Amino acid sequence: MGKVTLEGIEFHAYHGAYPEESILGNRFTVDLELDTDFKTAMESDALRDTVDYSKLYQLIKSRMDVKVKLLEHLGHVIVQDIVKVFPNTRQVKITLKKHHPALGGLVKYSSVTIFYPEDYH
């Protein structure tokens, strides 16, 4: 077992429940921890035997490009994609942050964290 981490992935995207959010967009940050079995890669030194970070990034980016209302939904579909593309995935922890959300006051960010498999019982 091992852990792959991508931290501070930033996107400008158009997620939100309010109409202005889907027009103006906002800055989002994604932090991802992925527990997987990469023992074979440790021995082989071959990218095919582990989680390809660039594929993982592209998977997240492709979901960030599709407007949704809720961060909870966005996190869910990203986790589903990760588990499908990387079947050796044992656990995922993903945190999505929306910077300066439109809440009527100064807020640094709002966020949700989703745990796989715990949130999938």
Q: What is the pLDDT of residues 50-108, one digit of tens each?
A: 999 999 999 999 999 999 999 999 999 999 999 999 998 999 999 999 999 988 899 99
Alpha carbon 100 to chain centroid, angstroms:
19
Give pTM, 2 decimals: 0.92
Amino acid letter, residue 81: D
Tell me what the pLDDT averaged over the chain comes to: 94
Alpha carbon 64 to chain centroid, angstroms:
9
Marked catalytic residue, from 39, 55, 61, 98: 98
**Domains contained in the chain, CATH given:** 2-120 (3.30.1130.10)
Active site residue 108: no
d(CA 38, CA 97): 28
Check whether 1 has a pLDDT greater than 90: no
d(CA 74, CA 71): 5
Can you read off the two tokens belonging to residue 95?
Answer: 């945190």
